[in-house]
Each structure stands twice: as C-alpha cells, then as structure tokens.
C-alpha cells in the first residue's frame, strides 16, 4: 500500500517538531487524527517510524530514512497531480471547493454560474462541512480551496479575507412565550458544534441569562425558520438571516455578539499553477465586500 501525500506531510511536521501535540497544533488537526495518520504510514512501510516517550517522539532508523526522502516524494506527487488534473495555462479541470452549507447559499451564486459559463472545461466538486474540518482537509491536500469562516493561521495556507459578518441572538417580531425575554418558558435554538455558538453560550452563562429549553439543529437555515415561526430565540449569522431581517430583530441589551470573517483559503503551493492563480483571483473579485 502506497502512503498518501497528506500522511507524509504530517510525518515531516512530526519529525521537525519531535512533538505530536505541537505538530497537531501547527497542522491545524486534532492529535487523534495525527496519530491515525502516523499509524497508516507505519502500516504502509511495515516498520516502526516513531519512538514515543514522555519528552516527545524520536525517529527510528526507518523513520530517518523516510524523512530524508519524504519531501521530494511530496513535491513529485503534487507536480504529477497538478499536471494530470489541471491545465497550466487555461482555466480548466476539476477543482474541489469546501464551505459550510450555509456559506454556500449566500456565496456560490455570485461566481459559480459565471465561471461555468465562461470556462467550458472547468468543473467543481463542492464539499460541505464545518469550517474547521474543511481547513484541515485543505492543509492535508484533500480539498483545493475553501470559503472558510474564521480560519486559523497556518504556515502552509494563504488566507484572503473577503467580508465580515456578525453572529447574534435573533427572534421573530411576532412575540410568543418561547421568545419573550420575560417568560419562564423561553427557548434557545442553536447549532451546537459551531465555535461561534460555543463562545456566545459561554458569555451568556456569565451574564446568568437562562432558557427553559435548548433546541439544537445542524442546519442554520432550519434554525432561522424556527425563529421566524416564533419557536424561540436563535443564534444566527446575519448573512444567513438575509432578507428575513425585516421580520426579525436582534437582541441587543445584555446579549453578546460574535464577529465573523469569511476568507478564501488555499495551500500556498497550489499557486504554482497559472490556472489556480486565475481561479483564486476570480473568486476574490466576485465575493469581495458582498
């Protein structure tokens, strides 16, 4: 079984830092994910590559041999992948683009139809997940580009800010017991896995604002519809609320807010392709300050 480029890249970071925790932090991945990557490499080579101890990790003899050749392997692989999948001069080929499904609803309409119309040889594969997961996939070569909310800085990434947003507590202008701040029956509706939600809930707890019930959903549009119906108060980004803002109101006094920024991110080495440089420029132009 041949090793994949992501595992080799992760191995080099571990070799450089001699510490799994530090390597995971620099790579922007979880430590369990990094450990699984190392196990896959050791299985592929059928040899132990790392010695783990309290002070960190050291390379075995086999690990030292792999480290000396892995960088060239990665460069050769990226060159082969780029040459076989994408034209170096013309904007054509299949590109993968990652973004949260809610981000897709207010962004892709501004550039995908135009690009598909102008470039017949261009194809997109869209991947939808949490922004932090998609950023990991870009670092590990699984996705080409991402429209990512609040990306964390990483040495291998280029991050281009496109516009800002604000995550707030919203309720319908139609008052109900579920969205009345004075009611003992008020309900909170949230997407619990978002970092913004977790931050706002922590700040809310400090203000000792409580709700009788919390309803969760992994879909921000569903949360918005529930809030519009009067089912409760929701934590929603302003761009997801969109034109429905006229039917809703932001809770101001005592309720915290979270400042979001949407960025186009990609690996720095992907810009070696003329087509990739052209594509990133077109996406930035279409979305900047939207």
Q: Is 155 exposed, middle or buried (0-12, 13-18, 19+ CB in 10 A)?
A: exposed
What number is the average pLDDT over the span 205-209? 88
Evaluate if residue 88 carries a pLDDT over 50.
no
> In this predicted structure, which of 30-39, 100-109, 264-273 has the lowest mean pLDDT?
264-273
What number is the average pLDDT over the span 188-213? 93
**Structure confidence by residue, pLDDT tens digits, 212-249:** 999 999 999 999 999 999 999 999 999 999 999 999 99
Evaluate if residue 3 carries a pLDDT over 50.
yes
* Structure confidence at residue 90 (pLDDT): 62
In contact, 238 and 168? CB cutoff 8 Å = yes
In contact, 256 and 209? CB cutoff 8 Å = no
pTM: 0.67
Closest C-alpha among 47, 32, 38 to residue 14: 38
* Other residues' Cβ atoms within 10 Å of the Cβ of residue 147: 24
For each of the domains in the chain, give its residue range(s) and CATH number, in order of start: 5-85 (1.10.10.10), 93-163+261-287 (3.40.190.10), 165-260 (3.40.190.10)
* Structure confidence at residue 84 (pLDDT): 56
3-state secondary structure of 56: strand
* Structure confidence at residue 150 (pLDDT): 96
> In this predicted structure, which of 44-53, 70-79, 154-163, 187-196 has the lowest mean pLDDT?
70-79
**Which two structure tokens, joined as six digits, stand for 5?**
């480029």
* Structure confidence at residue 165 (pLDDT): 96
Q: Residue 196, CB half-sphere, CA atoms under 13 Å: how many? A: 24
Closest C-alpha among 105, 75, 89, 107 to residue 267: 75
Sole residue written with tokens 């392997």: 73
**Which two structure tokens, joined as six digits, stand for 2?**
């041949």
**Structure confidence by residue, pLDDT tens digits, 133-177:** 999 999 988 899 999 999 999 988 999 999 999 999 999 999 999
Predicted confidence band of residue 184 (pLDDT cuts 50, 70, 90): very high
* Structure confidence at residue 214 (pLDDT): 96
**Which two structure tokens, joined as six digits, stand for 103?**
């981000």
* Structure confidence at residue 83 (pLDDT): 58
Q: What's the mean per-residue pLDDT of the chain? A: 89
Evaluate if residue 98 carries a pLDDT over 80.
yes
3-state secondary structure of 26: helix
**Structure confidence by residue, pLDDT tens digits, 20-65:** 988 888 888 898 999 998 999 898 888 899 998 877 899 999 888 8
**Which two structure tokens, joined as six digits, stand for 195?**
């970092």
Sole residue written with tokens 């135009």: 114
């Amino acid at each position: 079984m041949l090793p994949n480029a992501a595992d080799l890249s992760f191995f080099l970071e571990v070799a450089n830092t001699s510490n799994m925790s530090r390597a995971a932090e620099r790579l922007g991945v979880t430590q369990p994910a990094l450990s699984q990557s190392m196990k896959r490499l050791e299985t592929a080579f059928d040899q132990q590559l790392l010695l783990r101890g309290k002070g960190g990790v050291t390379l075995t003899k086999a690990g030292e041999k792999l480290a000396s050749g892995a960088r060239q392997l990665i460069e050769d692989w990226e060159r082969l992948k780029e040459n076989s999948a994408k034209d170096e001069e013309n904007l054509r080929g299949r590109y993968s683009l990652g973004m949260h499904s809610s981000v897709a609803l207010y962004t892709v309409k501004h550039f995908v139809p135009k690009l598909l119309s102008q470039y017949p040889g261009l194809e997109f594969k869209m991947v939808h997940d949490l922004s932090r997961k998609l950023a990991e996939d870009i670092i590990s070569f699984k996705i080409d580009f991402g429209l990512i909310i609040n990306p964390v800085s990483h040495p291998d990434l280029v991050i281009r800010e496109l516009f800002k947003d604000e995550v707030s507590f919203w309720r319908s202008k139609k008052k109900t017991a579920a969205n009345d701040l004075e009611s003992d029956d008020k309900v909170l509706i949230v997407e619990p896995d978002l970092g913004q939600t977790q931050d706002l809930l922590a700040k809310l707890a400090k203000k000792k604002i409580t709700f009788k019930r919390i309803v969760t959903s992994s879909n921000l549009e569903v949360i918005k519809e529930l809030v519009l119906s009067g089912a409760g108060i929701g934590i929603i980004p302003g761009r997801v609320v969109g034109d429905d803002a006229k039917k809703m109101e932001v809770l101001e006094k005592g309720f915290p807010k979270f400042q979001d920024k949407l960025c186009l991110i990609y690996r720095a080495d992907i810009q070696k392709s003329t087509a990739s440089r052209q594509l990133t420029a077109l996406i930035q132009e279409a979305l900047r300050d939207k």
